[in-house]
Structure 1
Amino acid sequence: MKTKPAFLILSLFVALESGVSAQETNDNVEAQVQALLAQMSLEEKVGQMTQIDFSVISVINGELAENPIDQAKLEDAVLNRHIGSILNTPTTPNNQTQPIEKWRRMTQAIREVAAKSRLKIPVLYGIDAIHGATYTENAVLFPQAISMAATFNPDLAFKEGEITAREVKASGLDWNFMPVMDIGRQPLWPRLWETYGEDVHLAVTMGSAYIHGHHGDDFAAADKAPTCLKHYVGYSYPLNGKDRTPAWIGERALREYFLPGFEAGVKAGTPTVMVNSAEVDGIPGHINHHYLNTILRGEMGFKGFTVSDWADISRLYTRDKLAASPREAVKMAVMAGIDMSMVPFDYSFYDLLLDLAKTGEVPMTRIDEAVSRILRVKYQSGLFDRHEPALDVKGNFVTDDAVAANRQAAREAIILAKNNHNILPLSKQTSILVTGPTANLLSVMNGGWTITWQGAAEHLYPKDKPTLLQAIQQKTTGKVTYVGGKNFSDEINIEQAVTQARQHDVVILALGEKTYTETEGNIESLHLDPVQLQLARAIFEIGKPVILVTFGGRPRIITEVANKAQAVVLGFLPGMEGGAALADILFGDTNPSGKLPISYPRDSNDVVMYDHKPIEAFESNQYRPLFPFGHGLSYTSFQTSGLRLSKDNIAMGENIDLTFKVKNTGALTGKETVMVYLHDVAASVSRPVKQLKAFKKVELKPGAEQTLQFSLTPQDMSFIGVDMKRIVEPGEFEVMVGSETARFQVAKP
């Protein structure tokens, strides 16, 4: 929807009330940056461009220590090497949550050493808080991005950003590597679930809302923090589906699908960008001068700093074979536009860049440019004024409002994809067999970057959050039996499961994936593990009603099972409250409202997006997913009607308004996401059959009706033309809402 969200209106109001213009603030920061830069030695400047992993300053076996910091190593890093940033937990490579008070002690120790340095430049501490403060014990952990996208509720994304920033800052941390604004259009890719799905408008809307919540009006505020856009750009579309492998993206597709999310993030005020670990069209992201400068800074107007991903500058030599030596790799990356290097385990970048600067191979102008950008973000983040953790724990960590928001997000994230004969919701007296590898684990509802890097350490998960099985047991007075293991890979006794199924009214069959992220999650096929299919087939043979529930980060092929099941519930990664939320839906305490943010493929080689081109649905080609983008059922029913446009003809550059009604035609109160699609009927470049341009989630009581209004702008009607410029062409357009279509003409100028 093109009206300003409430949080944006509030931001504008606060800015006007403050009496201090943004320009005055920027001028003040710029003066501070330049004054400090003028005092810095070359060594201090190069240090600011260096980011190290916590292990560099850790005692041996630091994960076991109450105080994991080696004070001598920390002082060497900050006072002698002048490092600008630290990332990660004390437990690399596995990474593991830390108690909040331990985090606060560690980060305070780093601040105190930085305060002893000659120029007292603070260290910026970064963390992957991708669905809440993921590395702080007991933090509120939301659904992952793919599931937040399924809510189609930007207000929830805003709240997630707000709560995450608050809990990150209460932990003593400064900087969050989130959100992922690359688009999720390759279902094999093991980081698909970190995206907001396949649609540009949905990703832009949800990601922007998250950033606004995380930043507030000023990310220097005690309960706010800067974000980082990932991973610029095209990382999410590897041709073979494997993580950190090449993408082949033409410039038109890049501009049409992959750049808009980053442009929206820049407009939303994100001050940092993390760079693509792989390559696009043969050029690694870390030396792509065109992407980093011409587009990101020139076209988008990005003013912040870029940070490399993990060890990716050295990999220009060790892996990509683009550089003849580690020294050349550093030179290439810095000259291409990388401002800060996530080294991460040593000072090699510092040493090499220092030498390159002394010999003049990297000019001081480039060093000063990068350091200015880093200092600017540190000033904007309020780090120079912060001498202790910014926020008290009490009242800011795991608050009632945060837990409630998380529960609501989980409820709205879960998708009811099939419900034959209205088998759902179940009676609470129903006798139920629960089986399958994802039925009794919290990890499978959370995914990677949860408590540990890969998210699989089930023993570390909180004991007060129910798994699906436990939530079902808490909900029902009927008989509940479980046949399964304690771990995802445990063998399930199929014979026992079949025997028990015969003795129950319904089987809840919980299938899906174990946890993973990055290259650890690479797979050869989207098909489920054969052992899961064997279990499902055996259960179906006895004829009992089966409710299929799935958890996982990507759409594993479930066609055979879904066709035979009476109901299908797609959980994806609904977070710590996922078990309770799913049980709420199964028993009717919550009316489901989630919608698919991706097209769910019918088979592994039949991957077609909803916004496909006409040639993809011509003759024998077709868009025939198992479940389409935007699909999601409710326990009530909705109907849209009365689609009307404000005009039949508009001038070039003019908006067009549309109205229609949505009515709850069922017997229960429910939430419905109403989607507005647009199609350019004929253009000089082939256009998608439809594209989402606006949506709104409404809640209606039975029989209630609401009139919705939207405006479509020239931006909505535009596309990347033959000359790679965004244009609007005159001609006919179709607006689609529900089963209705309306047409209008854009006149020639």
Structure 2
Amino acid sequence: MRNTPFLFFLILIWSSCMNETQTPNPAKTTGQFDQQIAEIMAGMTLEDKVGEMTQLSIDMLSVGEPYNLDKPHQLDPEKLEKMLVDLRVGSILNVGGYAYSREHWYEIMTAIKGYSDKKASKIPVLYGIDAIHGTNYTLGATLYPQQAGLAATWNTNLVTELGKITAYETRASYIPWTFSPVCDLGRDPRWPRLWEGFGEDPLLASDMAVALTRGYQGEDPSDPYQVAACLKHYVGYSRPLTGMDRTQAWIPERQLREYFLPPFKAAIDAGALSIMINSGDVNGIPTHIDKYVLTDILRGELGFEGLAVTDWEDIKYLFTRHRVAKDHKEAIALAINAGIDMSMVPNDADFPLLLKQCVEEGLVPMARIDESVTRILRVKLKLGLFDNMFYEPENYPKFNSPEFEELAYQGALESLVLLKNKDNVLPLDKSSRILVTGPTANSMIPLNGGWTWVWQGNEESYFADDEQTILEAIQQLLGADQVSYVQGCTYDETVDINEAARAAKSVDAVVVCIGEFSYTEFEGNLYDLNLPEAQQNLVRALSASDKPVILVLTEGRPRIIREIVELADAIILSAYTGNQGGRAIASILFGDHNPSGKLPYTYPGAANALIPYDYRATDQYGIDNEKYKIRPQFEFGYGLSYTTFEYGDLTLSGNTLTPDGTLEVRISVTNTGTRTGKEVVQLYAADLVASIAPSVRRLRGYEKISLEPGETKSVSFTLQARDLAFVGLDNKWQTEPGSFELQIQEKKIIFDFESDSVIFFEK
């Protein structure tokens, strides 16, 4: 993927800054690790080993009770001694409810290191944190778009650079492990964690997962500016039947392999060191006890050699929620025997004691324990924790630097998607008088979403004073005298809609900021995907003013807006753009920058039409009848620009593709407008006849390019037989002989894949 000159400039700055202080450790070979691990294991007792497999929340080391710690946060020396020395706990995670300063993180990690050094084994503690859109549990950190926003950029180079920021600032917080990226496909817009993933398409999600993993881990995870990635939530977590968090999924194995496994496979191939397991059950089997998924597929087929950790309290849930075990001990035996390496307990000390009993009673073989401990030690060695559990504060002068902020701003800009622009109402004139209204206009919370300073991201007080809301950014850009503000409504209640309607009469344009509050996990469960009626009523009232109405949707999932789309003159989607979101939205609204984001998911038009873009022809039953056609509000890959692009003819290097050959696909793109713009060239393919009903189209390639006015660029894609593969009846990847149709924009062309037989692939 090509970089714009601006982004390339930022990346050069970033690289030079890193080179000033970076002294990376030499890469260590697997052989060296094997010898070190054998030496360490030889001196470990069973108590040491089950301790290594235990992960506790920081609550278990702190003054107060779990979920109700004393404030300000303090560590408890007696608990540190018991958990780290007596029980030999190998991993700690999380914060005690809210983000800490770098100074406090240093105090925490210094104390943890001191107590871990008191153990006979001297094995360092592995600390993990949910740093998912920046180092979001360290005050003052650089926060960029959540993953759905990153996917909307369609710019993997930019995503890698943003991942490097997280790695740097997480290590600057003395933590070497982030629970990211989310590799779950977002194919159901009801799911409350849709915004945490990279959208609905396996190719786009795979590329983004690889990009973020490489940003986190770099070439050498032991580098003081890199962290271990953790792929989550393996696998099928994101497709619950109810649409609600942690509820059951029914996914045929063919679909699991074709859609849900590829992002994990891609990131594993990119070297991801750890993986987190799905909290739910798939086809009636809780993933935490599914040996076929955890061992046969993950280890045997995908080749994963890293650490597999549970999600929060999930082994205990096997008997309290799933009811597949009679008690905690049986649940532990089932999970460890299936392939779990580490239990995110997190808030009691029972796990290591019960696991020890399981071994002593023959419920879990010692070989299974040694296998897990080997994996845990290997991750700690790859991170260099035995040499340096953490580095000193002076090694991180670029924490929250201007360079990082500019990259986050670029990420926010490229993540914004222009969905409608009637009569080119945007960009607005900077001399205009503007009314800003709506529940998301004057808050940082809906710009960031969950996992921001606190779990639900719903505490305004933790945001820095210099971070700008949408309202504040517009005021900064235009001057406060040109901008008026009326709240209009809350998320679901009317406040002063009539006042907003009156104010609209005295301005030139109205910017209505609507959408969702922050949430994650079960707190985001809902029964109605429609945008709340209070917000829709605000738009209806403002549309009567006959002034241009611009909707800014700040939301984590596509809330249905069918009834108000026609009332708006322009619509911009902001999928949790981060702390620079207000500034980026203002820049787009008033033309300082040109929008280039594209939807990473299908935006539904109705609650009964929640279907991804790659549906089957049979999904349009009565296809000749207009009534039954699939009509999303906005299609996957859609996004407008302030300039226009013209596509040339779609050409191929030949009319046929062979099993060992390649086919080059070429097209030219011209910027026919008056502004510099970025376009995402998207290549789709359709298998015209297959042994299994094929999708109407599948994304097979894309490239983001930047074009000056009047400039033309040629874009090419190279196709191989494996790029056209699907999972067949025998659950194997295959490409069948036959005709395929390629499409870029409205340009289409057909070619034949010629082979004497079906071609099978390992993917």
Quick check: TM above 0.5? yes
What SS does the aligned partner of 1:735 have? strand
After superposition, the Cα gap between the structure-2 partners of 1:135 and 1:235, relative to the gap in structure 1 and judged at 3 Å, is: same
Q: 1:2 Cα deviation (Å)?
A: 13
Q: Provide the rounded CA distance (Å) in 2 between the counterparts of 1:566 and 1:387.
A: 55
Which moves more between the two structures, 529-538 or 331-340? Answer: 529-538
1:679 aligned residue? 686
**CA 1:66–1:211 in 2, change beyond 3 Å: closer, same or farther?**
same
Q: Secondary structure at the match of 2:650?
A: strand
Specify the code of the residue in structure 2 equivalent to 1:221: D
The aligned residue for residue 579 of structure 1 is 582
Letter in 2 for 1:479: Q
The separation in 2 between residues aligned to 1:67 and 1:135, in whole angstroms, is 14
**Deviations, residues 194-221 of structure 1 (Å, cap 9, x unaligned):** 0000111110111101111111110110
Q: Name which of 503, 518, 523 aligns with 2:526.
A: 523
CA shift, 1:618, in A, is 3.9
Q: Helix, strand or coil: the match of 1:355? A: helix
Once the 2 structures are TM-superposed, how far is the Cα of residue 391 of structure 1 from its aligned partner? 5.9
Shift of 1:488: 5.2
Aligned partner of 1:494: which letter? I
TM-score of the superposed pair, with normalisation by structure 1:
0.95
Q: Give the counterpart of 1:44 among 43, 48, 58.
A: 48
Tell me how far apart the structure 2 counterparts of residues 613 and 667 of structure 1 sit (CA, whole Å).
Answer: 39
> Are 1:537 and 2:559 matched, yes or no?
no
1:691 counterpart = 2:698: yes
How far off its partner does 1:102 sit?
A: 0.7
Task: Give CA-to-partner distance per residue, 1:590-648, whole Å, 9 cap, x none.
Answer: 10101111110001111121111111134254221111111111110011213211111
Task: Answer yes or no: is the 8 Å Cα contact 2:661–2:720 preserved in 1.
Answer: yes
2: CA distance, partners of 1:543 / 1:706: 41
1:269 is aligned to 271
Deviation at 1:748, TM superposition (A): 1.9
Q: Which runs of 5+ in 2 are unaligned?
A: 757-763
Post-superposition offset of 1:394: 4.1
1:557 and 2:560 correspond: yes
CA distance in 2, matches of 1:487, 1:349: 44
Q: Which runs of 5+ in 1 are unaligned?
A: none
Indicate conservation of the 8 Å contact 2:470/2:582, yes or no.
yes
CA deviations on 1:663-698 (whole Å, 9 max, x unpaired) are: 101011111111111111111111111111111111
- Output the CA distance in 2 between the equivalents of 1:706 and 1:592: 19
Deviation readout 1:515-534 (Å, 9 max, x if unpaired): 10000110001111121122
CA contact (8 A) 1:646 1:656 kept: yes
Aligned to 1:216: 218
Task: Decide which moves more: 354-363 or 574-583.
Answer: 354-363
> Residue 32 of structure 1 aligns to which amino acid in structure 2?
Q
Supply the distance in 1 between the matched residues of 2:189 and 2:534 (Cα, whole angstroms): 22
8 Å CA contact retained: 1:223, 1:391:
no
CA distance in 1, matches of 2:389, 2:310: 28
Q: 2:33 aligns with which of 20, 29, 32?
A: 29
Within the candidate set 63, 66, 72, 1:59 is matched to 63
When the two structures are aligned, how many residues end up with a matched partner?
Answer: 734
472, 479, 483: which one aligns with 2:486: 483
Q: What is the deviation of 1:541?
A: 2.4
| AA at the equivalent of 2:30 | N
Query: 2:69, 2:322 → 1: CA distance?
Result: 33
What does residue range 268-347 of structure 1 map to in structure 2 within 5 Å? 268-347=270-349
- The equivalent of 1:81 in structure 2 is 87
How far the C-alpha of 1:178 sits from its partner, in A, is 0.1
CA shift, 1:458, in A, is 1.2
Summarize the Cα distance change of 1:392–1:688 in structure 2 as closer, same or farther, 3 Å threshold. farther
In the other structure, the counterpart of 2:456 is 454
How far is the alpha carbon of 1:285 from its aligned partner? 1.0
Give TM-score, length-normalised by structure 2: 0.93
* Bigger Cα displacement from structure 2, 57-66 vs 677-686: 57-66
Q: CA deviation at 1:21?
A: 11
**Aligned-partner Cα distance in 1 for 2:418–2:474:** 17
Moved more, 224-233 or 352-361: 352-361
The structural deviation recorded for 1:358 is 1.0
Q: Which of 421, 427, 431 is the aligned partner of 1:425?
A: 427
For residues 261 and 358 of structure 1, the distance between their equivalents in structure 2, rounded to whole angstroms, comes to: 39
CA contact (8 A) 2:501 2:541 kept: yes
Matched, 1:590 2:593: yes
- Residue in structure 1 matched with residue 129 of structure 2 by the alignment: 127
Equivalent of 2:440 in 418, 433, 438: 438
CA contact (8 A) 1:440 1:486 kept: no
1:646 and 2:650 matched: no
Task: Give, in angstroms, the shift of residue 337 of structure 1.
Answer: 0.7
Deviations 1:23-52 (A, max 9, x none): x71100111111111211000000000000
Counterpart of 2:497 (choices 494, 499, 503) is 494
Q: Distance in 2 between matches of 1:638 and 1:81?
A: 63
- In structure 1, the residue corresponding to 2:296 is in which secondary structure? helix
* Cα pair 1:437 1:489 within 8 Å, conserved: no
The aligned runs of 1:386-425 (5 Å cut-off) are 386-389=388-391, 392=394, 394-425=396-427
- Does 2:687 match 1:665? no
| CA positional deviation for 1:506 | 1.1
Give SS of 1:384's match. Answer: coil
Secondary structure at 2:36's aligned position in 1? helix
- CA distance in 2 between partners of 1:389 and 1:506 (Å): 52
The separation in 1 between residues aligned to 2:644 and 2:377, in whole angstroms, is: 54
CA distance in 1, matches of 2:612, 2:542: 33
Report if aligned partners of 2:273, 2:379 keep a CA contact under 8 Å in 1. yes
Contact 2:488 2:499 in 1 (8 A): no
Q: In structure 1, the residue corresponding to 2:566 is in which secondary structure?
A: helix
> Is 1:703 matched up with 2:710?
yes
Shift of 1:708: 1.3
Cα 1:724/1:30, change in 2 over 3 Å: same
Which residue number in structure 1 is paired with residue 366 of structure 2? Answer: 364
Q: Which amino acid aligns with 2:304?
A: F
1: distance between equivalents of 2:716 and 2:212?
Answer: 24
CA deviation digits over 1:333-360, x for unaligned, max 9?
Answer: 1111111001110111111101111112
Residue 544 (structure 1) shift: 2.2
What is the alpha-carbon distance in structure 2 between the residues aligned to residue 746 and residue 543 of structure 1? Answer: 56
CA distance in 2 between partners of 1:2 and 1:104 (Å):
39
Computed over aligned residues only, the root mean square deviation of the Cα atoms, in angstroms, reads: 2.1
* 2:466 aligned partner, one-letter code: D
Aligned counterparts of 1:474 and 1:390: Cα–Cα separation in 2:
38
Rounded Cα–Cα distance in structure 1 between residues aligned with 2:395 and 2:433 = 44
Instruction: Provide closer, same or farther for how the CA distance between residues 392 and 735 of structure 1 changes in structure 2, counting only shifts above 3 A.
Output: farther
What amino acid sits opposite 2:57 in the alignment? D
The answer to which of 115-124 and 389-398 deviates more is 389-398
Q: Aligned letter for 2:687? A: D
SS in 1 for 2:394: coil
Q: Which residue of 2 aligns with 1:604?
A: 607
Separation of aligned partners in 2, 1:534 and 1:486: 9
For 2:613 and 2:395, the matched residues in 1 are separated by 45
1:202-257 alpha-carbon deviations (Å, 9 max, x no partner):
10111101111111110110100100000000000001101010011000110110
**Structure 2 residue 233 is matched with structure 1 residue 226:** no
- Matching residue of 2:731: 724
- Aligned AA (1:56): M
Q: After the TM superposition, which residues 67-106 of structure 1 pair with which residues of structure 2 at under 5 Å, given as runs?
A: 68-89=74-95, 91=96, 95-106=97-108
- Cα displacement (A) at 1:390: 5.8
- Whichever residue aligns with residue 549 of structure 1, its letter is V
Identity %: 44
Q: Which amino acid aligns with 1:77?
A: M
